Amino acid sequence: MNKQDYYNTINLQIEDLRTLVEVQAEKCFDIDKLSALMSEETVKGLKRVIITGCGDSFSAAGSMKPAFGEHSGLKAVSAPDPMEFCRFYEEREILKGNRPEEVLVIAVSASGGSDRIVEILQKAGEFGTGSMLISNNPESKGAKAAKYMYHVETPEGCNSPGLRSYFASMVAITALGAYIGLQQGYITEERFGAIKTNIVDYTRQVMEQYTCIDDQIFSLGETWKTYGKFEVVGDGAQNASAQFVEEKFIECAGVYATHADSEDWCHINFFLREPENIGTIFLAPSGTPGFDRMVYSIRSAAGIGRPVLVVTDAEEEVFPEGIAVCKIPKAPEAWMSPLVDFIPGSLMGGYVAALENKLFFTGRYDYRTQTWKV
């Protein structure tokens, strides 16, 4: 079987990360651009930040929430579900005892055109807080509804299903958090520059392994293509990565997919019938607080006959025999893992579709010609 016959736009977008990462880092960590977003006084006065978005953008917010908190030094950073924020957050939840001018609500959206994004920004305005759109479309409805517009300037290129935009959003969120930390004296200029450099270097390090990763996932996909159900398990920031991978399975292959953390998986998803037909991906970077629990969950999944793929930097000996282990380089800092840990699972979603001759978005998008069908 010739892998090239099943090449799709997931492959294309991941391969583009080799060059996109440097361009995106330059655009997002541009001090002049960041300084022009808000007044220095406003940035220095921030005490609370809420980051949310829809679909992939919500995953980006969750995956980079730890990075944002770590670099900004802010103790009150949250990434609520967009519907939860729009319909259930009241003054107490939004302000958390702070003055409105000390709170910034950030909506993340590559297109900026969603009505929900506009609603998020309008709600921020109702409570008098700052509102910012992180987007690639400064002319969008969301941009007009936001007080501040952070243009990520992602270069033109294929983005169906959204992957380049997801990566760009993660870089932008990280850069903004680092800039706030810089202005508030929490990090130094040297550290700000190092964060940017580390993003580029680590992404490129992982991309050096891309061919091996892609070969492994394609080979495994020849078996996994017949499964009708998939689960992706991740804890902490990896739970947001797991959600993103779930979204790619659904968008690409139209299969049932869900995500969970390791604790809930053991208590609930463990009991699903026909475990041998549920492809299960675990995102398991070593050194995280819940790694032991994740290993326990992986052993439990293998024990009941689940087909298992583990994406990890740990040695294979840590895991039970007979499961697939996709090794990726260890992140220099824990917050960096979500920048790349979505790659193997996203590839699998694309191959599950392509190997079964399914067009993406339930037949609406031809990944071979990069065209939408009417």
Domain boundaries, the chain: 3-206, 209-372
What is the Cα–Cα distance from 246 to 160, expressed in whole angstroms? Answer: 15
Mind listing the pLDDT tens digit for each residue in 122-140? 999 999 999 999 999 999 9
Give tens-digit pLDDT for 76-100: 999 999 999 999 999 999 999 999 9
Separation of alpha carbons 56 and 240, rounded Å? 9
Q: What is the DSSP letter of 154?
A: P
Give percent of the chain above pLDDT 90: 99
Query: The tokens 């921020």 sit on which residue?
Result: 124
**What would the mean pLDDT of 328-342 be, rounded to a whole number?**
97
- Joined together, the tokens standing for residue 374 give 């009417």
Instruction: Report if pTM > 0.95.
Output: yes
Nearest to 242 by CA among 257, 224, 227: 257
| pLDDT at residue 38, as a whole number | 96
**For residue 235, what are its two tokens?**
């804890």
Number of C-beta neighbours around residue 88 at 10 A? 10
Confidence of residue 146 (pLDDT cuts 50, 70, 90): very high
pLDDT at 277: 97
Instruction: Identify how many contiguous H helices and E strands the chain contains and give both numbers.
Output: 16, 12
Report the topology of domain 209-372.
Rossmann fold (3.40.50)
Write out pLDDT tens, residues 244-272: 999 999 999 999 999 999 999 999 999 99
Cis peptide before 320 (omega within 30 of 0): no
Domain 3-206 identical in fold to domain 209-372: yes
pLDDT at 117: 98
E strands, 226-275, are: 229-233, 256-260
pLDDT at 1: 83
Q: What is the distance between the alpha carbons of residues 365 and 206, in angstroms, rounded to a whole number? A: 29
Task: Pick the closest to residue 68 from 189, 186, 154 (CA basis).
Answer: 186
Burial of residue 210 (number of CB atoms within 10 Å: 0-12, 13-18, 19+): middle
Look at residue 287 in the predicted model and tell me its pLDDT: 87
**Residues near 362 by Cβ (< 8 Å), separated by ≥ 6?**
254
Token pair belonging to 204: 């490129």
Question: 240 with 81: CB under 8 angstroms?
Answer: no
In the chain, the amino acid numbered 108 is V
Give 184-229 pLDDT, tens digit per residue. Answer: 999 999 999 999 999 999 999 999 999 999 999 999 999 999 998 9
Q: Residue 49 pLDDT more than 80? A: yes
Q: Which CATH architecture has domain 3-206?
A: 3-Layer(aba) Sandwich (3.40)
pLDDT digits (tens, 9 = 90+) for 275-291: 999 999 999 999 899 99
Give the tens place of pLDDT for each residue, 54-75.
999 999 999 999 999 999 999 9
Contacts of 322 (CB under 8 A, 6+ apart): 302
Picking from 243, 242, 308, the residue whose alpha carbon sits closest to that of residue 275 is 308
281 three-state secondary structure: strand
Residues 123 and 145: their CA atoms lie apart, in Å, by 10
